[in-house]
Amino acid sequence: MSNDTGVEQTLVLLKPDAVARGLVGRILMRFEDALLKVVASKMVWMDADLTRRHYFDLEERFGSAVYAAMAEFMQSGPVLAMVLEGVDAVACTRKLVGPTYPDQAPPGTIRGDFAHMTQAYANARRIAVANLVHASGNADDAKHEISVWFAMDEIVEYPTAAERFER
């Protein structure tokens, strides 16, 4: 979701591994430090229906084994779902999160600093890569994903302290 000012919204999920490791605050701080504001959030234990709606194309793209591994992982613990808003929020969030595979993510990214699982390790065990965060891939994905997770009345508009004093 975006407008003509470059301000857009994106979906972020702090996955079960991030929640279980107690990294929610540290990860959220990275987004807020980058001037992304939280306009919606909720803690959810994903069920089969929500998993299917969120990962609707994963099985088609990568096969049933990948989908099954991801579904098992995402349903293994609670997830913190958030809508972040800011200038170029999708690209900014993806940059902060880093590449999908933690072993390929550079230091300074969330996955590079906090995650440790390699693609080879996950593939050899037929498990999902524990990479802490899901972030929408592009503006169209963000719009769809936000609609899966949040009703419009759950997204709050408010000025940050900095926005109150902009001229």
Active site residue ranges: 134
Q: Judge contact between 104 and 142, C-beta under 8 A.
A: no
| Contact call for residues 75 and 125 (beta carbons, < 8 A) | no
Residue for token digits 């080879």? 120
Mapping DSSP to helix (H, G, I), strand (E, B) and coil, where does residue 153 land?
A: helix
Integer angstrom CA distances of residue 81 from 1, 16, 33, 103, 163? 16, 11, 18, 24, 24
The secondary structure of 14-72 as a DSSP string is: E-HHHHHTT-HHHHHHHHHHTT-EEEEEEEE---HHHHHHHTTTHHHHH-HHHHHHHHH
Q: Name the one residue in this structure whose structure tokens are 């990948």.
A: 66
